[in-house]
Amino acid sequence: MTKRKLALAAATLVIAAAAAVLALGTSPGSAKTASAFKAAWIYVGPHNDGGWSQAHDAGRLAVQNALGSKVQTTYKENIAVGSQFDQTVSSLRSQGYKLIFATSYGYVTPAIAAKYPDVKFEQATGTLVAKNVSEYFGAAEDTIYLSGMAAGAAAKCNTIGYVVAYPIPEVIRHANAFALGAQLTHPGIKVRLVWTNSWYDPPKEKRAAQSLHGAGACALGQNVDSPSTGQYAQSVGIPWVGYDSDASKFAPKSWLTASVYNWGEYYLKRVEAAMSGTWKPGFYYGTIADGFTKLAPYGPNVSAKTKGLIAAKQKVLAVNRGAEFTGPLYDQSGKLRIPAGKKMSVNQLYAMSWLVKGVIGSPKG
Amino acid sequence: MRFTIERRLEQPRWLAVAVPIGSLLFALVVAGVVLLVTGHDPISTYRQLFDAAFISSGALDQTLIAATPLAFTGLAAAAAFRMRLFNIGAEGQLYMGAIVGAAAGLYFGGRGGPSAFVIAAMVVAGCLGGMAWGSIPGVLRAFLGTSEILTSLMLNYVAAYILTYLIFQSESYWRQTTGFNAKVFPTGKPLPPDAIWPSWTLNAQGGIGIPLGALLAVLVAVVLWVLYRRMRFGFEVQVLGDSDGAARYAGVRTRRKILAVMAISGAIAGLGGVSQDGDFRHALDGDPNGLQKQAYGYTGIVVAALARYNPFACLVVAFLLGGLNNAGNALQGADFPSGLVGVIEGIILFSALGGELLVRHRVRISRTAHAPAATEPAQ
């Protein structure tokens, strides 16, 4: 019995000692680079997802490289909307990160913004502008339209498959732009959608690609974050248009092109503004002319003729953002939604809840 | 040498304390090796973990937010598992509690009545939602002998689809439909102010909020303890869990117990769901990248197992796991991959659960029967 008590006492002592070491040694945050300005990025998926989050991380690294030791940047990946975002912000704040780029919609709510008044939030793709919240995004629909032209030209049959995340206006607008582009180079072509209800879910995206191919698609495109659609496309030998990042290395034979983002310039501007104390909340909508959105390098299956067509269209869009959404535009049922000559406004694009003629699928998921 | 694992006839009390502590130390050593190999300083990493979970400004506040749902799902699992009724469906029951509870909040809130009434209605509705969803596998098990493990698990997916459908794919009662923001991205309709649950702030660490849900979880633990330790119902449930045949012989009505226990378990999980609405999200969270990504229901199973189905231990374990969870977010970053955080958390949980084996079993080392002396090398 005494032996056991001794063992218990020893164990308790060890734990107590460990706790004491931990408790006494606590210091708020790390001591290194105390003078550096701290900025953090929050991602919905892994920082190296080959798509959306990777493009943002490239932007973060651009800031780090440009400002060197004057800034300290970090990221948090796979962060869920809600309590986990709150936890992450709280811990970042206690480590001195007062500028946070939340790179997906739904992270920053009015309640979160009010809970952390001393933190400057920047949120991608949203609309909540507040005292300490800025919103930023850009006309990816223009470059997605151009990438749709490449898909339409490369498709050898009458259906393209498009793997899509959530049935929300952002994705609906992108799917519409893709379809309009494809119809320009391949009149009458249909774009069939499969929703995954996730930004990043490689197995689900692959299954979606599989079912689209099974339903007769002879080219694939995507508005989700991983390159698994492309890997599937290459395995069945059909062309593929990616999204967000240059993911050609995942399926070099199938790769056509992709609409990609250059977040770095915006990030640099905002970090510098925060450092100099001139940061103000706002709403930024980048364009082709800004260099915010562009096409990734072409793969081997894009013909010279298609490249020429795309280049010509790109010039038009560079001076006339959103020109592809000029009427007449018809919805799936054939109803005229945008009359001839009218161009949709950014607010209209942000709330677009209908799919254009020639898209097969429901805008409700 | 031969190792055999045999059941302990009696479980000494000191083991129940020494084994978890030993397991934790073992885990820290193993995880320390992993950290060293990957080029991180174990001591400073552990210090950061501990800091972020319990010490630094706002840490306890966030740990409580993470722990509250785990306490509910842990208690839900413990209530059912004690009878060897393996309800894997706390996840879905939590969603259903969140859905029905939010409906009650939206319906009764904002009408000028007392806030306490609105909140009470939400609590009841949340329990009923979870209870109804938990009773489906309960009825199937009681009357058709279907495995509750499979049915409750499958219903999790159904509940998740319903939750997503209500916010993302329909103009339902729960969805915010007015205003420009609601058009851009689907969100739940915000609960009226009188349907938002109160929280009490402790003036430490820059404010530690004690959500109403955390207090309700403590209350549930007390009720469960009384029910299982002090009442005939609980005694019968435990006898059923230990020996089905003996219980039936003694005249325990198995079918009723199955129905009752699944209903109780579901109700507790449902309460966890409505606490998410009232305490934290202030709307129904239908985002697949939100509530559904947290997997509180599944983590609850780990909580119950570590707590050995003891309701009060469930609270403690939920608090510790909540801290671990919270600290994991703080730890990961550009210089610390989130995968490594997962590995460390996994090692800790794995050793803790593995250590449980030693409480109930002993490892006997015996020499093999044939000529032990001859095979021994010379000293």
The separation between CA B50 and the C-alpha centre of its own chain, rounded to angstroms, equals 21
Q: Determine, for residues B289 and A86 on separate chains, whether the beta-carbon distance falls below 8 Å.
A: no
A156 shares a domain with A41? no
Q: How confident is the model at residue B2 (pLDDT cuts 50, 70, 90)?
A: confident
Q: Can you give the pLDDT at residue A1?
A: 43
A186 shares a domain with A132? no
H-helix or E-strand spanning residue B2: strand B2-7
Q: Can you give the pLDDT at residue B9?
A: 78
List chain A residues with CB under 8 Å of B333: 40, 74-76
A325 shares a domain with A213? yes
Structural domain tally of chain A?
2
Q: Determine, for residues A81 and B280 on separate chains, whether the beta-carbon distance falls below 8 Å.
A: no
Q: How confident is the model at residue B8 (pLDDT cuts 50, 70, 90)?
A: confident
Interacting residues of A66 by C-beta distance below 8 A, sequence separation 6+: A268
Q: Which of A47-56, A240-249, B85-94, B236-245 has the lowest mean pLDDT?
A: B236-245
Closest partner residue to A81 (CB to CB) among B184, B282, B287 is B287
Residue B221 lies in a domain: yes
B324/B342 Cα distance (integer angstroms): 10
Show pLDDT as tens, one digit a residue, over chain A (365 residues). Answer: 455 555 555 555 555 555 554 544 444 444 444 689 999 999 999 999 999 999 999 999 999 999 999 999 999 999 999 999 999 999 999 999 999 999 998 899 999 999 999 999 999 999 899 999 999 999 999 999 999 999 999 999 999 999 999 999 999 999 999 999 999 999 999 999 999 999 999 999 999 999 999 999 999 999 999 999 999 999 999 999 999 999 999 999 999 999 999 999 999 999 999 999 999 999 999 999 999 999 999 999 999 999 999 999 999 999 999 999 998 999 999 999 999 999 999 999 999 999 999 999 999 87
Residue in chain A closest to B330 (alpha carbons) equals A91
CATH number of the domain enclosing B58? 1.10.3470
A251 shares a domain with A278? no
Q: Does residue B295 register a pLDDT over 80?
A: yes
Residue B22 lies in a domain: no
A166 shares a domain with A89? no
Residue in chain B closest to A30 (alpha carbons) equals B48
Closest partner residue to B333 (CB to CB) among A75, A90, A197 is A75
Q: How confident is the model at residue B364 (pLDDT cuts 50, 70, 90)?
A: confident
B307/B295 Cα distance (integer angstroms): 19
Residue A8 lies in a domain: no
Buried b (16+ CB within 10 A) or exposed e, B108-117: bbeeeeebee
Q: Determine, for residues A4 and B58 on separate chains, whether the beta-carbon distance falls below 8 Å.
A: no
Neighbours of B46 (CB within 10 A): 20
CATH number of the domain enclosing A155? 3.40.50.2300
What would the mean pLDDT of B282-311 be, rounded to a whole number?
A: 93
Amino acid in position B221: A
A332 class by beta-carbon count within 10 Å (0-12 exposed, 13-18 middle, 19+ buried): middle
Buried b (16+ CB within 10 A) or exposed e, B197-217: bebeeeeeeeebbbbbbbebb
Q: Can you give the pLDDT at residue B204?
A: 87
Q: Which of A43-52, B62-71, B356-365 has the lowest mean pLDDT?
A: B356-365
Q: How confident is the model at residue B362 (pLDDT cuts 50, 70, 90)?
A: confident
CB B83 within 8 A of CB B241: yes
A311 shares a domain with A270? no
Residue B75 lies in a domain: yes
Q: Does residue B268 register a pLDDT over 90?
A: yes
Q: Determine, for residues A4 and B334 on separate chains, whether the beta-carbon distance falls below 8 Å.
A: no
A187 shares a domain with A117? no
A314/A304 Cα distance (integer angstroms): 15
Residue in chain A closest to B25 (alpha carbons) equals A15
Q: Does residue B242 register a pLDDT over 80?
A: yes
Residue A302 lies in a domain: yes
Note the pLDDT tens digit of each residue in B184-217.
889 999 999 999 999 999 998 888 999 999 999 9
What region does A62 belong to: left with phi over 0, alpha with psi -120 to 50, or beta?
alpha
Structural domain tally of chain B?
1
State which residues form the domain around A61: 37-139+263-286
Closest partner residue to A197 (CB to CB) among B47, B184, B288 is B288
Residue A276 lies in a domain: yes
Maximum Cα–Cα distance across chain B: 89
Residue in chain B closest to A86 (alpha carbons) equals B62
* Sign (positive or negative) of CA dihedral A192, A197, A198, A199: positive
A112 shares a domain with A211? no
Residue in chain A closest to B69 (alpha carbons) equals A83
Residue in chain A closest to B324 (alpha carbons) equals A87
Residue A305 lies in a domain: yes
Q: Can you give the pLDDT at residue B271?
A: 98
**How close is the nearest chain B Cα to the Cα of A137, in Å?**
13
Name which residue leads in pLDDT, B91 or B21. Answer: B91
Q: Determine, for residues B294 and A81 on separate chains, whether the beta-carbon distance falls below 8 Å.
A: no
Note the pLDDT tens digit of each residue in B305-346.
989 899 999 999 999 999 999 999 999 998 899 999 999 999
Beta strands in A12-132 (DSSP E): 37-42, 71-76, 99-102, 120-124
Residue B354 lies in a domain: no
A338 shares a domain with A192? yes
State which residues form the domain around B225: 41-335
Residue A22 lies in a domain: no
Name which residue leads in pLDDT, B347 or B362. Answer: B347
Query: In terms of DSSP bridges, do strands A283-286 and A255-261 run parallel, antiparallel, or are they unpaired?
Result: unpaired
List chain B residues with CB under 8 Å of A25: 47
Note the pLDDT tens digit of each residue in B246-261.
888 888 888 999 999 9
What would the mean pLDDT of B94-118 be, rounded to a whole number?
A: 96
A44 shares a domain with A104? yes
A237 shares a domain with A352? yes
List chain A residues with CB under 8 Å of B325: 87
Closest partner residue to B164 (CB to CB) among A5, A197, A347 is A197
3-state helix, strand, coil in chain A (%, to 5): 40, 20, 35
Residue A180 lies in a domain: yes
Buried b (16+ CB within 10 A) or exposed e, A53-85: bbbbbbbbbbbbeebeeebbbbbbbbbbbbbbb
List chain A residues with CB under 8 Å of B208: none
Q: What's the mean per-residue pLDDT of chain B?
A: 91
Amino acid in position A104: S
Residue A213 lies in a domain: yes
Closest partner residue to A74 (CB to CB) among B14, B186, B333 is B333
Maximum Cα–Cα distance across chain A: 93
Q: Can you give the pLDDT at residue B361?
A: 82
Residue A329 lies in a domain: yes
Phi, psi for B197 (deg, rounded to 5) = -75, 140
B280/A86 Cα distance (integer angstroms): 10
B103/B106 Cα distance (integer angstroms): 5
**What Å distances lie between residue A335 and A170, A331, A357, CA to CA?**
21, 5, 9
User: Which residue is listed with tokens 């651009």?
Assistant: A62
Q: Determine, for residues B329 and A73 on separate chains, whether the beta-carbon distance falls below 8 Å.
A: no
What would the mean pLDDT of B291-300 be, rounded to a whole number?
A: 95
A308/A289 Cα distance (integer angstroms): 19
A271 shares a domain with A245? no
Task: With H, G, I as helix, E, B as strand and everything else as coil, classify residue B262.
Answer: helix
